[in-house]
């Protein structure tokens, strides 16, 4: 940083000077986490001035790494969609990812959100025994072992999954509680279309039903057009095998569709001639076939992850506002951020080339003047859909608009975070 010893404090206070390139020097603590105090160095560990204490790696650490013990970000059991986790029977249905600590777009597998009808129990599947059967209105019903699948041409794509219950009730404090039922990973597997071409679709093939291996089978009906487009039969997640909680050894990826369609522990796909009502279809009961098919797809959505609820700004000055945007409609085209409660919208910086049905990281440089305000983000996807305000969503559902009303359907409304005078950040809907 050169010899000029401007202190961090000076940099962060002098808002004006920070508008330019200097801003990057003022990396500040917006996370609300207690700053880590440098560990006291025991004399026997002191290998000269400035050296950090050394710890010896165990066999486990050498063989399969672990994050720093200074990093403590974890998933939490989550009340979502009206069901509380853990419920009265001690079952944890929903586990939320710590979005407030996220960087980039990939959710580490160990922090990926989890939603499972059987609670904390997951099937323990031997991959050598596991089979995927494809049958129904096809010319040749086929059964694939894991080895068979891994011999076929593969694809690797970054996709988000979001639970339809990922909506807030206005009282929740953190972004993990309000938005933590969405995650994004790099998935590897075989395109479902590759397998269906092997089987040969009969002309009456219009829908397909995917089924998981647990006793509550997690079956859903989906349009065959989606199967032939971009569905992945995934065995890889973030560079290694899919984790047990996320469907090991095999799961279905239905990019952009509600999480419930992404069948985990996938063992059977039945190609059918019409929409079948299955265990998982209760959420779409009242809808017509066409409406149901549309309801599968997640709307454009974004949220500021930092600064966000329960975090603390350390004082006026520069902060990069950052967050995530995603849409079931394709790639994110643009993101806007408002720092004055939604009066003025400013174009945010997109951090890396947006992928289809993937998280996109955005950033916006902001100098906080120390006054109370509200920060918000909204996104537009590649087919031109714009994330709605809560007011617009209320109109759509024909329900009275109050700030903390609960959206009846999938909630992709704009999320406000309130910046209070003391630098504390709170839910703008609470
Ligand atoms: N077999 C099976 N698949 C399932 C589920 C389940 O309970 N069983 N839960 C679904 C729901 S509701 C969601 S939101 C996603 C969550 O995927 P994840 O746990 O990998 O995040 O998986 C879906 N697939
Ligand atoms: Mo879900």
Sign of CA dihedral 353, 354, 355, 358: positive
Identify which of 405, 386, 385 has the alpha carbon closest to the alpha carbon of residue 395.
405
- For 16, the enclosing helix (H) or strand (E) is helix 15-18
- Alpha-carbon torsion (407, 284, 359, 71), positive or negative: positive
* CA angle, 134 then 123 then 194, to 5°: 25
Strand partners, 183: 161
Give the pLDDT of residue 316: 98
Residue among 387, 332, 386 at smallest CA distance from 356: 332
pLDDT at residue number 40: 46
**pLDDT number for residue 14:** 46
- Structural domain boundaries in the chain: 131-294, 301-427
Task: Report the pLDDT value the prediction gives residue 296, as an integer from 0 to 100.
Answer: 80
Phi/psi for 395 (5° steps) reads: -60, -45
In angstroms, what is the span from residue 81 Cα to ligand 2's centroid? 9
Q: What is the structure's pLDDT at 317?
A: 98
CATH of the structural domain 301-427, one choice from 3.30.1360.200, 2.60.120.620, 2.60.40.650, 3.40.50.720: 2.60.40.650
Determine if ligand 1 sits within 6 Å of the CB of residue 265.
Answer: yes
Per-residue confidence of the chain (430 residues) as pLDDT tens digits?
A: 334 454 555 545 544 444 433 333 334 444 444 444 444 444 454 455 678 898 888 898 899 999 999 999 999 987 654 556 666 666 667 899 999 999 999 999 999 999 887 667 789 999 999 999 999 999 999 999 999 999 999 999 999 999 988 887 667 899 999 999 999 999 999 999 999 999 999 999 999 999 999 876 666 789 999 999 999 999 999 999 999 999 999 999 999 999 989 999 999 999 999 987 665 555 454 455 555 555 688 899 999 999 999 999 999 999 999 999 999 999 999 999 999 999 999 999 999 999 999 999 999 999 999 999 999 999 999 999 999 988 888 888 777 777 667 776 678 999 999 999 999 999 998 8
DSSP letter at 110 equals G
User: In testing the pocket of ligand 1, which one of 107, 121, 218 has its CB within 8 Å of the most ligand atoms?
Assistant: 218
Query: 114, 264, 278, 359: which to mutate for ligand 1, most atoms within 8 A of CB?
Result: 264
Residues 6+ apart with CB under 8 A from 55: none
Are 314 and 325 within 8 A, CB to CB? no
C-beta of residue 216 within 8 angstroms of C-beta of residue 264: no
- Of all ligands present, the nearest one to the C-alpha of 212 is 1
pTM: 0.87
* Cα–ligand 2 centroid distance for 207 (angstroms): 21
- DSSP collapsed to 3 states, 350-407: ECCCCCCCCCEEEEEEEEECCCCEEEEEEEEECCCCECCCHHHHHHHHCCCCCCCCCC
Is the distance from the beta carbon of residue 125 to the nearest atom of ligand 1 less than 6 Å? no
Q: CB neighbours of 165 closer than 8 A, spacing ≥ 6? A: 80, 81, 82, 83, 94, 115, 181
Give the position, in ligand 1's atom list, of the atom nearest the Cα of 114. Answer: 19
How is domain 131-294 classified at the CATH fold level? Answer: Sulfite Oxidase; Chain A, domain 2 (3.90.420)
b (16+ CB within 10 A) / e for 13-42: ebbeebeeeebeebebebebeeeeeeeeee
Write the DSSP assignment of 233-281 as a string of letters. EEEEETTEEPPGGGTTT-EEE-TTB-GGGS-SSEEEEEEESS----GGG
State which of 123, 259, 269, 283 you would mutate to test the pocket of ligand 1, scoring each by most atoms of that ligand within 8 A of its C-beta. Answer: 259
């Amino acid at each position: 940083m050169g010899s000029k010893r401007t202190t961090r404090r000076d940099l962060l206070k002098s808002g004006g000077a920070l508008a330019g390139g200097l801003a990057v020097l003022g990396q500040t603590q917006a996370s609300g986490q207690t700053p880590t105090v440098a560990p006291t160095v025991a004399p026997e560990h002191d290998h000269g001035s400035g050296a950090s204490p050394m710890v010896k790696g165990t066999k486990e650490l050498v063989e399969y790494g672990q994050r720093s013990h200074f990093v403590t970000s974890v998933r939490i059991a989550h009340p979502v969609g009206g069901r509380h986790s853990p419920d009265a029977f001690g079952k944890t249905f929903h586990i939320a990812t710590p979005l407030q600590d996220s960087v980039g777009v990939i959710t580490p597998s160990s922090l990926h959100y989890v939603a499972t009808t059987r609670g904390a129990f997951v099937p323990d599947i031997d991959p050598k025994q596991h089979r995927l059967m494809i049958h129904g209105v096809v010319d040749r019903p086929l059964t694939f072992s894991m080895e068979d699948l891994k011999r076929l041409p593969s694809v690797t794509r970054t996709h988000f999954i979001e639970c339809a219950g990922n909506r807030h009730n206005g009282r929740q404090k953190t972004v993990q509680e309000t938005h933590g039922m969405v995650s994004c990973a790099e998935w590897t597997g075989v395109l479902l279309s590759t397998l269906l071409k092997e089987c040969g679709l009969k002309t009456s093939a219009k829908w397909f039903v995917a089924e998981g291996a647990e006793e509550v089978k997690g079956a859903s009906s989906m349009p065959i057009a989606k199967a032939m487009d971009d569905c992945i039969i995934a065995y890889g997640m973030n560079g290694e095998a899919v984790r047990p909680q996320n469907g090991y050894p095999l799961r279905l990826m239905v990019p952009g569709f509600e999480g419930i369609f992404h069948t985990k522990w996938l063992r059977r796909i039945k190609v059918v001639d019409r929409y079948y009502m299955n265990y998982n279809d209760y959420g779409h009961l009242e809808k017509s076939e066409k409406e149901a098919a549309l309801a599968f797809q997640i709307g454009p959505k974004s949220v500021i992850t930092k600064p966000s609820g329960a975090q603390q700004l350390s004082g006026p000055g520069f902060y990069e506002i950052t967050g995530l945007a995603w849409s079931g409609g394709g790639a994110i085209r643009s993101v806007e951020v408002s720092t004055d409660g939604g009066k003025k919208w400013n174009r945010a910086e997109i951090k890396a080339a947006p992928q289809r049905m993937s998280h996109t990281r955005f950033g916006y440089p902001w100098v906080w003047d120390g006054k109370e305000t509200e920060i918000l983000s909204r996104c537009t996807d590649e087919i031109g859909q714009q994330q709605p305000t809560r007011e617009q969503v209320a109109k759509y559902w024909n329900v009275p608009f109050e700030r903390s009303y609960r959206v009846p359907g999938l909630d992709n409304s704009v999320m406000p975070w309130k910046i209070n005078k003391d630098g504390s950040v709170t839910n703008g809907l609470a």
